[in-house]
Amino acid sequence: MAVHADGRVKGELEFASRRDDDDELPLDFDPAGQTIDVQQAGTTFLSTTVSSPAPAGPARRSRPRSHS
């Protein structure tokens, strides 16, 4: 995370359930409904609650087009 002199903040956190890059942190918990705080040196830069995924609906089938 970088804080610029004008107060802008830039940073990135990346979690993955399957790590395919060395810079990813393991996602070994279900974040749905959890509050996530990004802090550095006692300053909170981001606080958000992760939404739950939308429930899966019935599968939609595509119908073949009839060419008339």
Name the residue with tokens 């990004």. Answer: 38
Beta partners for residue 10, in sequence order: 2
Domain count, the chain: 1
Selected residue with higher pLDDT from 63 and 15: 15
Domain membership of residue 39 (yes or no) is yes
Whether 36 maps to a domain, the answer reads: yes
The confidence band for 35, taking pLDDT boundaries of 50, 70 and 90, is very high
Q: What is the pLDDT of residue 53?
A: 74
Q: Is residue 62 part of a domain?
A: no
Q: Confidence class of residue 49 from pLDDT cuts 50, 70 and 90? A: very high
Q: Can you give the residue range of the structural domain that contains 38?
A: 2-49
3-state SS, residue 50: coil
Helix-, strand-, coil-residue percentages of the chain, each rounded to 5: 0, 30, 70
For the entire predicted model, the pTM comes to 0.47
Residue bearing the bigger pLDDT, 57 or 15: 15
> Percent of the chain beyond pLDDT 70?
78
